[in-house]
Amino acid sequence: MTPPELVPAVVAVVTDDEGRVCLVQDTKRDRWLLPMGRVEPGESVTDAVRREVREEAGLVVAPDVELTGVYTDPATQLFDTSDGPMQYLAHVFRCAWVDGDPEPDGDETTAVDFFEPGEYPTDLHPSDDWIAHARHGDGVEVT
């Protein structure tokens, strides 16, 4: 069996002034997710998280994003892809929405919305713990 490739990725817990969390509806999996994606070669994780939010949700976040967790748990981060197995090294950031209108990109995302904590869609990617830690946690959680 081929070992999985370890791929750096970013995840954004974007909140509005009311504390609601931004979620995007993923085109491929037809489920709600936090804005997320791979870090491009030559890109920092902070630049990548700002880019992914802009691309997937149409939002601009404040430049001072805060790392709240790093996750590699195969239970949630191991995927079979056309390029073979990949395990994401997910860097989760707390981000504040400062500009832009919620707008799906039409390619990767079909909807963007803000949800009250605890009122997330039932088909949300298993990242409730990431959201809770990003909103209330102290320090960086690593799993």
CA distance 94 to 134: 6
pLDDT tens-digit map of 80-104: 888 889 999 999 999 999 999 999 9
Contacts of 103 (CB under 8 A, 6+ apart): 57, 58, 112
What CATH number corresponds to the domain at position 131?
3.90.79.10
On the question of pLDDT at 127 being above 90, the answer is no
Number of structural domains in the chain: 1
pLDDT tens-digit map of 19-35: 999 999 988 888 899 99
- Enter the pTM of the model: 0.91
pLDDT tens-digit map of 29-60: 888 999 999 999 999 999 999 999 999 999 99
Q: Say whether 137 sits in a helix, a strand or coil.
A: coil
State the CB neighbour count (10 A cutoff) for residue 20.
16
Contact between 125 and 109 under an 8 Å Cβ cutoff? The reply is: no
Kindly report the average pLDDT of the chain as a whole number. Answer: 90
* Domain membership of residue 134 as a residue range: 5-142
CA distance 120 to 100: 22
